[in-house]
Structure 1
Amino acid sequence: MSQATTAAPVSERLHALDALRGGALLLGIVLHAAMSFVPVSPRIWFIQDTHPSLLLGLLTFAIHVFRMTTFFLMAGFFARMSFHHRGVRGFLRDRLQRIGLPLVIGWPILFASMYLIAIWASHFPNGGWSRSWPPVLPNFPLTHLWFIYVLLELYVAMLLLRGAFVRLDKSGIWQAVIDRAFARIMRNPLAPLVLAIPIGIAFCLDQRWINVMGVRTPDQSLMTNAQAWIGFGTAFGGGWLLHRQIGLLRLLERRWLAHLLLAVGLILIGFVLSGVMFSAPGAPKLPVSFAALRLASAILYAPAIWIATFAVMGLALRFMSGFSPAWRYLADASYWLYLIHLPIVTVLQVALSQLDWPALVKFAVILVVAIPPMLASYHLFVRFTFIGAVLNGRRAEKRVLPHGGIATA
């Protein structure tokens, strides 16, 4: 274990990290609610609002930089905790219940509803099938549930890797070496740059990559792409190793402001670069080639992912470590809300898309109309029912594990 001193009890840090995990899921709802207002061509969403917004474009760009890396880092952290609490069989049974079952049951319902919404959107000149819809076999449209499919893959990969280490490294020498190497990286102020190297290389080798897409998400196939394995796998593994040395969290808490300032700067630069790369056809041509701009974007975007991830982790540890009933409730509800939100949000986007209202007003209406009923459905039909037991575990069990829900993912 790391010898780093702790600023707060471990239980308080888990409150902060669980709130962060829930926040990452809730930010996904905000992200998708803003997608119809992104001023990009060709259209990438089911509907493009008649009033695009550069500010909402920046919001989606910023959230997309760090959200899923943060989520998978937390997933790896809590996966190791759950594994050592439950054992191999208990862990597998728990993951199949909380992750596998919602995927199998929820996917047909969500896909059917999204298909119908896309048909409705196609009646408008600025809506309908985007470049990836309808999916053509052998592609498989996982929609926004791709993240739990990838979680299942990462659980299997990590258990196999851990089993091999336990069998081949019975003395624990190599595990100690890995722990020391990881601690040395995390203690170095350049840690985000080191962790960004694998995904940065993947970006540079992908000739079709552009920074607005971030890490390629495997939402259209059961064959997870290499970028997702590298980007999210690195985060998941980092979270697993971080749980082995929880004292390292103190470093992220101490560096939150520096990471935040750097993250804001890199995100703004990346957003400007994306605008330059996809400037209007009549705009003056730059002396720099598209390939050079793409390479610069990749070099900047990869560290931005990890710097922003460390920034939000540090913020959570610094300001959200104490127990908060409101954050506890939202963290519990976030999994359900994220599972059900996409058809609700998309229906509202299509319904509002033709109105002559400012983009920010429409965006606010979408969130204000969508979130309260979703929270009500969680409280009435999920929190104290068998659905809540499947998704978040039994209420009594969560008194033992205060980081319940998908936080143990």
Structure 2
Amino acid sequence: SKLIIFFNSIKSLIAKILFDFQIPITLIIILTICSLNDMGTELVGNPVATGMYFAFGYSLYKNNELFHNIIHNWKYYFLSAILFFLIHTLIEEEYISMDFEQSPVFWIPFIFIKICNSILFSFSFIGLAENKFGSYNSISRFCSDGAYWMYLIHLPIVTFITFFMFQFEFFTEFKFLLAIILTTFICLITYKFFVRSTYIGILLNGRKYPFKWNNFK
């Protein structure tokens, strides 16, 4: 009907304005505006801003031109993201002075830098993954299939390991690396034995694989 055609046209126009540019300045500006309050960018606290990330991901795979551009130019997105990350870190560590209490207007460039950092890293990692890991590899496929499961369970595991290590006088950097290694190991093992070959695997990935002890295929 004409109404459906009209809504599809509006949807396509919005997607083009937000997501079709090689330098996603429109998306960055809108996300900056949506994040200027105290809600942050988390899903529960700020569903509008977070929803735009999901919308971008959904639209990306329908936009071959932008998708191939991201794959081809991922290095430039990554270098730009590093630059914004360094600026953000310098502000956080107060090497660059910004008195947010006396001058709340400083929140605007700070949030803008933070959003640039997030968007450009997203672009670069998507491009890197497609550029370097696009061909089939059984280990990469295993980790990719297990990503959703690991996303769901990693937080309580990280929390438990972190609190457990409070009692030990290790270097913080060592605790950090140990937490990453242990969490990754637990996530992979639980995915292998409790998810990949069970009905949970169907729920998370749409299929289950025959169980094999001796490999990660």
The equivalent of 1:194 in structure 2 is 26
Instruction: Output the amino acid matched with 1:228.
Output: P
Comparing both chains, which one has the higher relative contact order based on Cα–Cα distances under 8 Å and sequence gaps of 6 or more?
Answer: 1
- In the superposition, relative to structure 1, how do residues 300 and 314 fare at CA in structure 2: closer, same or farther (>3 Å)? same
Q: Unaligned regions of 5+ residues in structure 2, if any?
A: 210-217
The equivalent of 2:204 in structure 1 is 391
Identity of aligned residues (%): 24
Out of 131, 153, 163, the residue aligned to residue 350 of structure 1 is 163
Out of 76, 83, 105, the residue aligned to residue 258 of structure 1 is 76
Residues 237-282 of structure 1 deviation map (CA, whole Å, 9 limit, x = unaligned): 2233323333431111122121111100101111211222999xxx
- In the superposition, relative to structure 1, how do residues 338 and 377 fare at CA in structure 2: closer, same or farther (>3 Å)? same
The equivalent of 1:228 in structure 2 is 47
Instruction: Output the amino acid matched with 1:318.
Output: N
Instruction: Output the amino acid matched with 1:257.
Output: K
How many residues are treated as equivalent by the alignment? Answer: 209
Q: Give RMSD over aligned pairs.
A: 3.2
- After superposing on structure 2, the runs of 4+ consecutive aligned residues of structure 1 that deviate more than 4 Å are 285-288
CA contact 2:71–2:131 (8 Å) conserved in 1 = yes
Instruction: Output the amino acid matched with 1:196.
Output: I
Distance 1:286 1:176 in 2: 41
The equivalent of 1:237 in structure 2 is 55
- In the superposition, relative to structure 1, how do residues 198 and 277 fare at CA in structure 2: closer, same or farther (>3 Å)? farther
Distance 1:199 1:349 in 2: 32
The equivalent of 1:338 in structure 2 is 151
TM-score computed with the length of structure 2 as normaliser = 0.80
CA contact 1:169–1:175 (8 Å) conserved in 2 = no
The equivalent of 2:138 in structure 1 is 325
Q: Unaligned regions of 5+ residues in structure 1, if any?
A: 1-165, 219-224, 280-284, 397-409
Distance 1:349 1:177 in 2: 45
CA contact 2:19–2:60 (8 Å) conserved in 1 = no
Alignment of 1:4-403 (within 5 A): 168-170=3-5, 174=9, 178=13, 182=16, 186=20, 188-190=21-23, 192-204=24-36, 206=37, 208=38, 214-218=40-44, 225=45, 227-229=46-48, 231-276=49-94, 289-395=102-208
Distance 1:195 1:292 in 2: 21
Residues 11-59 of structure 1 deviation map (CA, whole Å, 9 limit, x = unaligned): xxxxxxxxxxxxxxxxxxxxxxxxxxxxxxxxxxxxxxxxxxxxxxxxx
Distance 2:130 2:193 in 1: 31
Distance 1:288 1:173 in 2: 45
TM-score computed with the length of structure 1 as normaliser = 0.45
Distance 1:276 1:201 in 2: 24
- In the superposition, relative to structure 1, how do residues 169 and 385 fare at CA in structure 2: closer, same or farther (>3 Å)? closer
